[in-house]
Amino acid sequence: MILNKKPKVLFSTEEISQRVKELGEEISKDYEDIVIISLLRGSFIFAADLVREIDIPVNIDFMTTSSYGHDEVSSGVVEIITDIRTDIKDKDVLILDDIIDSGNTMKKVVEFVQMKDPKRIKICCMLDKPSRRQADINPDYVGFTIPDVFIVGYGLNYGDYYRNIPYIFTFDD
């Protein structure tokens, strides 16, 4: 699905890189070691970049959820498609996502992960869109806070495309 719309860059590759470095430094100061759970597919690029900026022992695992399908707006129904394999009992856990929008996906994931009895759960997202929040979820680490616009790139998709774009953009009509 390639659109005939002009991209409007919101965050350049350089801005993203700098912010991810800062997040890595902040997380490294807050923990001795950590289990990171990256929510696929959107956060895989952010996760790969972030873990390389963290200077403490990191165990990384992945969880697959779905609520968007090919739409621009969440369906509101959150499914856990693939669970983690790591035992997180009594461990510090950081859940990573590309974006927190309504918060419904993250709320469901936090509740699901909490049942595995970790010591502590915190949340990190590349993008936070608080104006659309429906669930009582507030990330502990945020790359950028954005207004209510549909964004693409740096792991975020439109249909099956654009995840590979190294910057974050929206479309000008």
Three-state SS string over the chain comes to CCCCCEEEEEECHHHHHHHHHHHHHHHHHHCCCEEEEEEECCCHHHHHHHHCCCCCCEEEEEEEEECCCCCCCCCCCCEEEECCCCCCCCCEEEEEEEEECCCHHHHHHHHHHHCCCCCEEEEEEEEECHHHCCCCCCCCEEEEECCCCCCEECCECECCECCCCCCEEEEEC
Told to judge if 148 belongs to the known catalytic residues of this protein, a careful annotator would answer no
**Active-site entry in 101, 117, 128, 136:** 101
Supply the residues annotated as catalytic: 101
